[in-house]
A and B are shown apart, each in its own frame.
Chain A
Amino acid sequence: MFYREAGDFKTTYTDDNQTFPIKFDRYRYYVVLAVAFGVIPFLINDYWANAFLLPFLIYSIAAIGLNILTGYCGQVSLGTGGFMAVGAYACYKLMTGFPDVNIFFHIIAAGGITALVGTAFGLPSLRIKGFYLAVATLAAQFFLVWLFNKVSWFYNYSASGQINAPERFVFGVPVTGANTEAWATYLFCLVFLTISAIIARNLTRGMQGRKWMAIRDMDIAAEIIGVNPLRAKLSAFAVSSFFIGISGALFFAVYLGAVEVGEVFGIQKSFLVLFMIIIGGLGSIFGSFAGAAFLVLLPVVLKLIGVDLLGWPTDIVAHFNLVIVGALIIVFLIAEPHGIAQLWRVAKEKLRLWPFPH
């Protein structure tokens, strides 16, 4: 049907190792990049930036991070909210402590700090697995939120207990603070998402990704082949936390501007990102995007249909959102554990043959 790899010959292994080995996919990827960087910034308005685009970009980074840990390395984590908080608070401390350094570096450094914290909380994974590890990371979630509430050094002793992002510029354009424009914040987040996705893809298609997947699929066999389980698991925690830290920093500095830790980075956030990768697809970078887009768009679309079109009360529509997400989680876990990404793959395989049965 649409396209296939027939006739697309490769003569080197480098060609065969590409992210998008099929020509059609490659061109589509370039088109998506061109539209995202070259077209959307001119069409964007505040409503779409805040309701969909910014949260989508930022949650995608978090979902990629969690997907590396849970989808690729098989280590369940419920600490995503806590690690995002680490990114946010690290970014805040860096922004206020070193106001002369560009915010771009602050956000990367915040990712690095989160990577260290994540690695520390990943240590129990060497001894415990599955459900028990999830509980251990849950402890990280509650401990970190408690810590940022309790120790006032983290929020610079402000009376409200909140952290507020001061105004910062990239190339003279404000990206944080009160006077930001939609296109600037959008592009700033998009740059981070693009780099994160490329790094995640490179890691997962190379030897590091194979080590992670080996640990996920059969840890004993992996160890006998020569995978050091300690290094594989901790590197997954580090890389995953790095991305989650970046997304937390962006969420605070660029998207919200002001954060109260218990409200924004609570356990709900951990579950939200986990639901994104379950619905989107475990072990798939595309799935991280799909899941983030789906869960960010769902309330927006429901509001458009329910409130604006049918005139239902807002709270009923909000509850509908919860019901639908809950039902979808159950459906996906039972019917398609590999999520939207797998549905997409199956659809492509079916379309290769369509309209013939074989």
Chain B
Amino acid sequence: MLDQTEGYVTEDGRKIGGVVMEMKNITLRFGGVVAIKDISFDIRQGEIRAIIGPNGAGKSSMLNVISGFYVPQEGQVLFNGKPRPQMRPYEVAQQGIARTFQNIALFEGMSVLDNIMTGRLNKMSSSIFSQAIWRGKAEREEVENREKAERIIDFLEIQHIRKTPVSRLPYGLKKRVELARALVAEPNLLLLDEPMAGMNVEEKEDMSRFILDVNDEFGTTIALIEHDMGVVMDLSDRVVVMDYGKKIGDGTPSEIRNNQAVIDAYLGVAHD
């Protein structure tokens, strides 16, 4: 089923393309603590890739390596087949990698619309002088990008809170606004760090639907971390399982479900 060069076809019949992002033998240490130990996996064009594992397994660290926030001591990150040089997080963003955070990282002092518009900043290039007089390119860009932002606002059904300051929103909506901010950048790769943490069943269903729609409609490649097993198994095409910084499983949800190492990690092993 898994073809290394050509990609593969998922159970529901979606065609998955070549490798977008490849992690090769990544090791990340904080002082004496080894957060990630020699992990390799890839993310392919158009798939939904999940990273799961018990608390402290190193999932978020992994995501931070992908988004350039942490620099691994060993190993290579290959983006579109080329080794990615060490770069600042904003340069990674310019390459088309967007993310959301486990603890919502919205800009509390700004309105929902402004938060979402910041997601477009890599698409706007008017100079500070043009913006100062608000004529020509600056004004044109502002309107063009507003249209893109409005499309995402419609897509995620948050029209009614467009002008509301983010600090007044409830948790579930904040999560959705954060997804909007990441989506509006039209990323090649979207990283979601626990998009469903702290939500009730209904909100989780909404969020799952949005993630599937995003993947379906825009063809966005998604890598997500999630604790809710049901959600992960339903949403993702392939799953990486981590435990204590090591990779203990990698495959389709059904393969993972029957993987003994994964079952041991989650349910524990009898010592006899």
From A12, which residue of chain B is reached at the shortest CB distance? B143
Assuming A206-B138, A207-B121, is B109 touching A213 (CB within 8 A)? yes
Other than A14-B143, A217-B108, A224-B93, give 20 A-B pairs with Cβ distance below 8 A: A13-B142, A17-B142, A202-B132, A202-B133, A203-B132, A207-B121, A207-B141, A207-B142, A210-B117, A211-B118, A211-B121, A217-B107, A220-B69, A221-B101, A223-B88, A223-B90, A224-B90, A225-B118, A226-B94, A239-B128
Residue of A nearest to B150 (CB): A13
**Bound form: Cα–Cα A208–B132 in Å:** 9
Q: Is B128 in contact with A226, judged by CB distance below 8 angstroms?
A: no
Is B121 a contact partner of A217 (Cβ separation < 8 A)?
no
Instruction: Flag whether A229 is at the interface (Cβ < 8 A).
Output: yes
- Offer 7 A-B interface pairs, CB within 8 angstroms, sorted by A: A202-B131, A207-B117, A207-B131, A213-B107, A216-B109, A225-B185, A229-B90
Known contacts A224-B90, A225-B119, A227-B121; is-contact A208 B109 (Cβ 8 Å) = no
- Tell me how far the C-beta of A229 lies from the nearest C-beta in chain B, rounded to whole angstroms: 7
**How far is B185's CA from A226's CA once the two chains are assembled, in angstroms?**
10
Tell me if B's interface is mostly helix, strand, loop or mixed. Answer: helix
Closest to B141 in A: A207
A199 at the interface (CB under 8 A from B): yes
A122 at interface (Cβ–Cβ under 8 A)? Answer: no
Q: Which residues of A contact B (CB under 8 A)?
A: 12-14, 16-17, 199, 202-203, 206-208, 210-211, 213-214, 216-218, 220-229, 235, 239, 283
Nearest chain-B residue to A227 (Cβ)?
B90
Q: A235 to B119: give the CA distance in the assembly, Å.
A: 20
Instruction: Give every chain A residue within 8 A of B101 (Cβ-Cβ).
Output: 221
Q: Which residues of B are found within 8 Å of A206, using beta-carbon distances?
A: 131, 134, 138, 142
Is A202's CB under 8 angstroms from B134's CB? yes
Measured in the bound complex, the distance between the Cα atoms of B92 and A70 in whole Å is 28
Q: What residues on A are CB-neighbors of B68 within 8 Å?
A: 224
Of chain B, the residue at the smallest CB distance from A239 is B128
The answer for the CA separation of A211 and B117 in the assembled complex, in Å, is 10
Residue pair A224, B67 in contact (C-beta under 8 Å): yes
Least Cβ–Cβ distance between A126 and chain B, in angstroms:
12
B145 and chain A: residue at smallest CB distance: A207
User: Could you tell me the distance in whole angstroms from the C-beta of B26 to the nearest C-beta in chain A?
Assistant: 19
- Least CB distance from B263 to A in Å reads 35
**Alpha-carbon gap, A224 to B152, bound state (A):** 20
The answer on a CB contact under 8 Å between B90 and A226 is yes
Other-chain contact of B128, A220, A235, A283 (Cβ < 8 Å): A235
B110 in contact with A225 (CB, 8 Å): no
Interface centre among A199, A217, A225 (most CB of B within 10 A): A225
Among A12, A206, A211, A235, residue most surrounded by chain B Cβ atoms (within 10 Å): A206
Q: Which residue of B lies closest to A224 (CB)?
A: B89
Q: Which of B107, B120, B133, B139 contacts A214 (CB 8 A)?
A: B107
Within 8 A of A (CB), among B203-259: none
Residues of B within 8 A of A (CB): 67-69, 88-90, 92-94, 98-99, 101, 105-110, 114, 117-122, 124, 126, 128, 131-134, 138-139, 141-143, 146-147, 150, 181, 185
A222, B107: Cβ atoms closer than 8 Å: yes
Q: Check B146–A221 contact: CB distance below 8 A.
A: no
Given A17-B146, A224-B93, A210-B128 contact (CB < 8 Å): no
Q: Of all chain A residues, which has the CB nearest B181?
A: A225
Count of chain A to chain B residue pairs whose CB atoms are closer than 8 Å in the complex: 107
Provide the bound-state CA to CA distance between A214 and B109, in Å. Answer: 9
Chain B residue numbers with a CB within 8 Å of A17 are 139, 142-143, 146
Measured CB to CB, the closest approach of chain A to B272, in angstroms, equals 47
Q: Which residues in A have their C-beta under 8 angstroms from that of B88?
A: 223, 228
Tell which of A12, A17, A210, A222 has the most Cβ of chain B within 10 Å: A210
Asked whether, in the complex, the Cβ of B126 is within 8 Å of the Cβ of A217, the reply is no
Q: Contacts of B147 on A, CB cut-off 8 Å?
A: 13
The answer for the CA separation of A206 and B114 in the assembled complex, in Å, is 9
> What residues on A are CB-neighbors of B124 within 8 Å?
207
Q: How far is the CB of A241 from chain B (nearest CB, A)?
A: 14
Q: Which residues of B contact A208 (CB under 8 A)?
A: 128, 131
CB–CB A214/B131 < 8 A: no
Q: Which residue of B lies closest to A5 (CB)?
A: B163
Within the assembled complex, what's the spacing in Å between the Cα atoms of A223 and B98? 11
| A90 CB → nearest B CB, Å | 20
Interface centre among B105, B110, B114, B118 (most CB of A within 10 A): B118
Nearest chain A CB to B61's CB is how many angstroms away?
Answer: 15
Partner of B131, one of A203, A223, A283: A203
Q: How far is the CB of A23 from chain B (nearest CB, A)?
A: 17
Q: Which of A12, A210, A226 counts the most chain B CB atoms within 10 A?
A: A226
- CB A301 to nearest CB in B, in angstroms, measures 32
Question: What 7 A-B pairs come out closest when comparing CB atoms?
Answer: A226-B93, A221-B105, A217-B107, A202-B134, A13-B146, A206-B131, A226-B122
User: Which of A14, A213, A223 has a CB less than 8 Å from the CB of B89?
Assistant: A223
Least CB distance from A187 to B in Å reads 22
Kindly list chain B residues whose C-beta atoms are within 8 Å of the C-beta of A211.
118, 121
On whether the beta carbons of A224 and B99 are closer than 8 Å, the reply is: yes
B121:A283 contact, CB within 8 angstroms: no
Chain A residue numbers with a CB within 8 Å of B118 are: 207, 210-211, 214, 222, 225, 227
